[in-house]
Amino acid sequence: MVKKAFILIFCFLTFLSFGSTFHVGRNQKYKTIKSALHLVEDGDKVIVHGGIYKEGNIIITKSITLEGRNRPVIDGARKFEVLSIKANDVTIQGFKIQHSSYATLDDPGGIKVYESYNVKILNNHLYDNFFGIYIQNCRRVLIKGNRIIAFGKEEQEIGNGIHCWKSDSLQIIANDISGNRDGIYFEFVTHSVVWRNISHDNIRYGLHFMFSHDDSYFTNIFKSNGAGVAVMFTKRVTMMNNTFEKNWGDAAYGLLLKELTDCYMSGNKYIENTSAVFMDGSSRIIMRRNEFKANGWGLKIQANCTDNKIEGNNFIGNTFDISTNGNLTLNSFDANYWDKYEGYDLNKDQIGDTPYHPLSLYSVIVEVNPPAMLLYRSFMVTLLDKSEKLIPSLTPENFVDNRPLIHLIDL
Amino acid sequence: MSRILKYVILDIVKNKIVIVYTIILALFSWSAFSLEDNVAKGLLTLLNIILLTVPLVSILFSTIYIYNSSEFIELLVSHPIKRNRIWTSIYAGLCLSMIFAFIVGAGIPIVLFADLGKAIMMISVGTLITAIFVSIAFLSSILSRDKAKGIGVSILLWLYFALLFDGLVLFLLFQFGDYPIEKMMVGITAFSPIDLSRILILLQLDASAMMGYTGAIFQDFFGTKLGLFLSYFLLFLWAFLPFAFSLKRFRKKDL
Amino acid sequence: MIEVKNISKFFGKLKVLKDVSINLEKGECIAMIGPNGCGKTTLIKSILGMVLPSSGEIIFDNKSITKDIEYRKNIGYMPQIGRYPENMTIGQIINMIKGIRNSDEELDEELYHQFHIEQLLDKQMRTLSGGTTQKVSATLAFLFNPKVLVLDEPTAGLDPLASEILKEKIIKERNNGKLILITSHLLSELDDLISQVVLIQDGQIVFHKSVLQLKKDTGEDKISKSIIQVLKEKVA
């Protein structure tokens, strides 16, 4: 009995000790973050007040909350990784973290999380770091409301905004990322969600997926990135309500899909990209209710793509709606709206009475012979396309939408 | 010279064909801008019309006008005035009147709808295209005394620049498809004022991205100040050379 | 006044003028006659500078015409068929030619008034009849008081009244000491007008005689008849 009571009191005392708070700042008890971190136990809270802290590499090894007030600045002086997290249940919030080192060998980051779980990184500014936030071998990490800005000029001189490697159950929400190599990078990351982020003006991809199965991304905006968004070697990705905009350049894609299977894409908007969607070696993808507007190429679908369903999408004002490099098609097009469709609807069922062949002869020519773009919008090309529409002879016959819609789909 | 020029212009602008041409251009332009949902698309639609109808009307009307003026030219030659001046006055008169028709018909809506840079580009190219095809008309009408033959040559030349040249380019592209010929293609455009104008305008309308890798190469050339200057220089050359050649022939021609 | 020296003209292989030489003096009214395609039009066009001879030269008032176009100030030309830009008015045509000539000398507006051109100044050329167009051409030819008049079928297409006005004007100017060159097929029209006849055949001048001499040689009293006589002789 006495022993039991003793244990209870012990537990109570320990519980109390969970609440200890350390204040860091020029006018506080602790002048440096490191001096506070030496003393903390699991469950403690460190509050850092406004000011600049240049303390080399700060390593967190206990499960603590590190909170900035009046946005304190932690500066790596371009020599150190700024903040390293090597403990579970850590929360970092409210800092401005800047000037990490620029080595390429050990990938230093503004915030780097090593083999941990239940980590939260909230509302920080990451300014001019090599990698912004780096996650490796982690589970259940929440990255929310951060602003990540870098000033990369060349691909090899800068890291990624949010770099995730071999992790699971990540949530990446409402971050604003620009000027990095890739805005968000996933490699071997599973069961994760990317939601409401804005990734723009990055040198390579706005979002880059490799070998990352069972992930979803919703309602993100990817704009003016060097090469758009790439999703590669991945299964079961859901992509919904994202916007892919103004990814211009000779090798820029709104969305590049390579070796992708069993994915679902819906409600996405592709606006003013050189190529909106490029599909290579991909199969069993369902594209439904997306909008392709004012792109050079709407959908470039390589001949090695099979069993994809393209249904109920809007194709508006693209130079070419569809192009392909072969003459065999194992994909289906059904009930899309094509603004170039010139058929009629006598029975007023809103479905065109004649099938639509979305592959123009000129797009086939350009695919084989890119310099033929020289003749873009020339009278001869118009003539070629019209005659091909009347008597299809060179374009694959099974590239057809048998139920083209008469009216734009309201998305 | 100005004395003949003034009356030639007065004569041409009162011509029914020129008036109808002006009205049709205006109809096309206004409808292109009001039917398309944005200005850039309107400009692209208009571009197609300009690159097709302006050369055709310019070359045909000018050819017919020159042949119909042959007796008048004879009469002028019997007066103390140099042949150079007569021929140049008629060229200038035709050019200015057709350009005037183009600017009234298409230029006004372009200025009203498009932003200044694009409008200037579009109007300058339309103006040059007009001058170029009037110039080519002088060449084809000096080559033959027979009016029907001359008009035939004019139509053929128009067909060549509007259509056959592009076909030829396509043929070459496939013949040399295995070689890196993108840069050579930039040079090829110099041989067709219509292609040259089309690419200039397309790049001005930021359509280069829509043209992929080839577009990037064009942008590299035509997007620079030097490229722009060279293109305009080439267009001026096109407006000058056929006429200069016809002038040389006209000075020695028996009327 | 006009000296044609050994001019030849080829159109391709066709030799239209064969080494033609002729002297045309002022105060004469000279008829150029000959069958179609004989080269008389080419000869006249050479004098007017419309056709450039293959060889030989033409001297006008002691100056070669190839060097300087100013001699054309002294020539009035009336074409056989006048065709003018169709939307120009008569007034504009006259003003334009005045502008080209840019002459300070007094204008000879006799035909202008006699043909009542002043009432037609606003008429566009395409609305005119052939006769009215000829009146405009004649007016323009005489307007600048030139020393030489070249008239190609001047009375063809004119109504008898206008034709008479023109003939009287031609006689008047001849008497004023001008050189008048006329080509015409209407031989009977020429009787009162001309003082010399040039017959051209196959690019060569058959003869160049005064009317008196011609009549004397052939024994006919009408020019038309004398010429027919000559032509018959040649065939025989």
The predicted structure's pLDDT at residue A388 = 82
Q: How many domains does chain C have?
A: 1
CA angle B153, B155, B158 (to 5 degrees): 110
- 8 A C-beta contact, residue A66 and residue A90: yes
Examine chains B and C and say if they touch (3+ CB pairs below 8 A).
yes
- 8 A C-beta contact, residue C21 and residue C209: no
For residue A392, the SS3 value is: coil
Q: Residue B207 belongs to what domain range? A: 2-251
| B215:A297 CB<8 A | no
Q: Which residues contact A97 (CB under 8 A, 6 or more apart)?
A: A73, A74, A76, A82, A83, A110, A111, A124, A125, A126, A127, A129
B207 touches chain A (CB under 8 A): yes
C97 touches chain B (CB under 8 A): yes
C52 touches chain B (CB under 8 A): yes
The predicted structure's pLDDT at residue B1 = 57
A154 touches chain B (CB under 8 A): no
| C100:B69 CB<8 A | no
The domain limits of chain A are 20-390
C-alpha dist (Å) from residue C234 to A175, C41, C203, C207, C219: 111, 22, 15, 12, 16
Number of alpha helices (DSSP H) and beta strands (DSSP E) in chain B: 13, 0
In terms of Cβ atoms closer than 10 Å to its own Cβ (0-12, 13-18, 19+), residue B41 is middle
DSSP A348: -
CA atoms within 13 A on the CB side of B22: 16
For CA atoms A352, A354, A358, A360, give the dihedral sign: negative
Tens of pLDDT, residue by residue over C170-181, are 999 999 999 999
C-alpha dist (Å) from residue B36 to A358, A360, B26, B29: 21, 22, 16, 11
Q: Which of B173, B189, B210 sits opposite A296 (nearest CB)?
A: B210
Q: What is the CA radius of gyration of chain B?
A: 19
For CA atoms B29, B35, B39, B41, give the dihedral sign: negative
For chain A, positions 301-330, list CB contacts with chain B under 8 A: 317, 319
Token reading at A112: 């780097």
Region of A260 on the Ramachandran plot (φ > 0 left; ψ -120 to 50 alpha; else beta): beta
The predicted structure's pLDDT at residue A76 = 92
In this structure, which amino acid lies at residue C162? A
CA–centroid distance for B105 within its chain: 15
**Helical (H) or strand (E) element with A315:** strand A314-316
CA distance C205 to C214: 15
- 8 A C-beta contact, residue B217 and residue B39: no
- 8 A C-beta contact, residue A147 and residue A172: no
- The predicted model gives B27-36 an average pLDDT of 88
CA distance A357 to A377: 19
Q: How many domains does chain B have?
A: 1
Token reading at A194: 């990317």
For chain C, positions 154-213, list CB contacts with chain B under 8 A: none
Closest CA to C72 of C183, C147, C166: C147
Tens of pLDDT, residue by residue over B184-237, are 877 888 899 999 998 888 887 766 556 666 777 777 777 788 888 989 999 999
B188 touches chain A (CB under 8 A): yes
B12 touches chain C (CB under 8 A): yes
B27 touches chain A (CB under 8 A): no
Q: Which residues contact A62 (CB under 8 A, 6 or more apart)?
A: A37, A40, A41, A42, A44, A87
Q: From first to last of its 236 residues, what are the pLDDT tens digits of chain C?
A: 889 999 999 888 888 899 999 999 888 899 988 888 888 889 999 999 899 999 999 999 888 888 788 888 899 999 988 889 989 999 999 999 988 888 777 888 889 999 999 999 999 998 998 889 999 999 999 999 999 999 988 888 888 899 899 999 999 999 999 999 998 776 777 777 888 989 888 888 888 888 888 888 888 888 888 888 887 877 66
**ipTM of predicted complex:** 0.89
For CA atoms B3, B4, B8, B9, give the dihedral sign: negative
Nearest CA in chain C to B84: C69
The β-bridge partners of A410 are none
Nearest CA in chain C to B76: C97
Q: What is the CA radius of gyration of chain C?
A: 18
> What's the CATH code of the domain at C124?
3.40.50.300
Closest CA to A111 of A71, A92, A83: A83
Nearest CA in chain C to B255: C50
CA distance A65 to A56: 20
Starting at the edge strand that comes first in sequence, how are the strands of the sheet with C29-33 ordered?
Answer: C75-78, C148-152, C179-183, C29-33, C196-201, C204-210
In this structure, which amino acid lies at residue A335? A
| C45:B255 CB<8 A | yes
| B169:A370 CB<8 A | no
Fold for A20-390, please state it.
Answer: Pectate Lyase C-like (2.160.20)
Please report where in the chains the tokens 């996933």 appear, as a residue. Answer: A186
B202 touches chain A (CB under 8 A): yes
Q: Give partners of C (≥3 CB pairs < 8 A).
A: B
B179 touches chain A (CB under 8 A): no
- Backbone phi, psi, residue C104, to 5°: -90, -15
The predicted structure's pLDDT at residue A12 = 56
Residues of chain A with pLDDT under 70: 1-18, 104
- 8 A C-beta contact, residue A67 and residue A45: yes
For CA atoms A190, A192, A196, A198, give the dihedral sign: negative
Cβ atoms < 10 Å from Cβ of B49: 16
Query: How much is the mean pLDDT over chain B?
Result: 89
In terms of Cβ atoms closer than 10 Å to its own Cβ (0-12, 13-18, 19+), residue A391 is exposed
CA distance A392 to B66: 44
Closest CA to A306 of A332, A325, A277: A332
The predicted structure's pLDDT at residue A263 = 95
Tens of pLDDT, residue by residue over C143-164, are 999 999 999 888 888 888 998 9
- Min distance A319 CA to chain B CA atoms (Å): 7
